[in-house]
Amino acid sequence: MAQYGRIIGIDVGTKWVGLARTDLLKTVANPIGTYHVDDVFDALGEQLENENVEKVVVGWPLTPEGEEGRAIKMVKEFLAKLETKFPDVDVAKVDERYTSKEAVRAMVEAGVPKMKRRESDRVNQAAAAIILQKYIELVKANNVRITDRYV
């Protein structure tokens, strides 16, 4: 019997943070929105309070060579705040290489006009959905339970 719940995906940026969430069966990721770094924890708190969130998946910025990139420090600081504000939340990290490019490509394929594609809020939330969808696919491909910690 399937357990109903959601997973939240996060694309951390210097000024903006994109959020996405799964459907209740945890099969599809959909963008929620983009929030200023000062406001994202309020938005996360609302999701955690109003939804049955089983896990939070954060994009882990690796270089093309698979090494930790410059943005790792920023994401580590975000994760430290996340753990302080929501200590009971289970967190996983997923390689986020090329997710912003994938987000722009997906918007082109969906027919989103060029001016709208330049709006960083659209890219951030689409990237969060791609990060989350990657996690879902990794879990399926590796026959791992959602409740397992997968990095």
Q: Which domains does the chain carry?
A: 6-141 (3.30.420.140)
- Within 8 A by CB and 6+ apart from 44, the residues are 8, 10, 19, 56, 82, 85, 86
Question: What global pTM score does this model have?
Answer: 0.81
Each of the 151 residues of the chain gets a pLDDT tens digit; together they read 456 889 999 999 889 999 999 999 899 999 999 999 999 999 999 999 999 999 999 999 887 788 887 889 999 999 999 999 999 999 999 887 666 666 666 656 666 566 654 555 667 888 899 899 989 988 888 765 554 444 4
Given this model, what pLDDT does residue 56 score? 96
Strands 91-95 and 29-36: unpaired
